Structure 1
Amino acid sequence: MTFVSFLRKNLQKEIFQVKGDKLIHVLPLAKIDKREAANYLCVSVSSTNDVYITLLNVMEEKTVLKCETRHNWLLKDLKLIDGIDQLQDNAEFCLHFDTKIFNLEAYSTASKYAFLRCLRKMSSKYLQYELQWIHFDQDFVGKSHSLLVPDDAVLSMQICLEAFTCACLCSCF
Structure 2
Amino acid sequence: MSSLVKEDLNKKLFKCLGQSLYDFIEVECSGQDRFYLCASVTKGEEVQISMVKHFRIGLDEKYEISEKWFLDDLEMIDGKEADADNPWFDMHFKKVYSWEAYSCASKYAFARTLNKLNEMYLQKDLKIVNFDFTYINDDSFWSSNNGDCLVLMRICFYASNLLCLSLCPLPIG
Q: TM-score, normalised by structure 1?
A: 0.90
Partner amino acid, structure 1, of 2:62: K
Residue 130 to residue 168, structure 1, CA distance change in 2 (3 Å): farther
Q: Secondary structure at the match of 2:131?
A: coil
Range moving further from structure 2, 7-16 or 135-144? 135-144
Answer whether contact 2:13 2:64 (CA < 8 A) is retained. Answer: no
- Show the counterpart of 1:22: 20
Answer whether contact 2:12 2:63 (CA < 8 A) is retained. Answer: no
Is residue 2:48 matched to residue 1:52? Answer: yes
Partner amino acid, structure 2, of 1:69: I
Between structure 1 and structure 2, the one with the greater Rg is 2
- Show the counterpart of 2:77: 81
1:9 maps to which of 7, 10, 19? 7
Give the unaligned 5+ runs of structure 1.
Answer: none
Q: 1: distance between equivalents of 2:159 and 2:18?
A: 44
Residue 147 to residue 92, structure 1, CA distance change in 2 (3 Å): closer
Q: 2: distance between equivalents of 1:148 and 1:135?
A: 21
Q: CA RMSD in A?
A: 1.7
Answer whether contact 2:48 2:69 (CA < 8 A) is retained. Answer: yes
Q: List structure 1 segments (4+ residues) > 3 angstroms apart after TM superposition.
A: 146-149
Q: 2: distance between equivalents of 1:160 and 1:149?
A: 19
TM-superposed CA distance for 1:31, in Å, is 3.7
Q: TM-score, normalised by structure 2?
A: 0.90
Q: How does 1:158-169 map to 2 (within 5 A)?
A: 158-169=154-165
Count of matched residue pairs: 168
Percentage of matched positions with identical amino acids: 33
Q: 1: distance between equivalents of 2:88 and 2:145?
A: 24
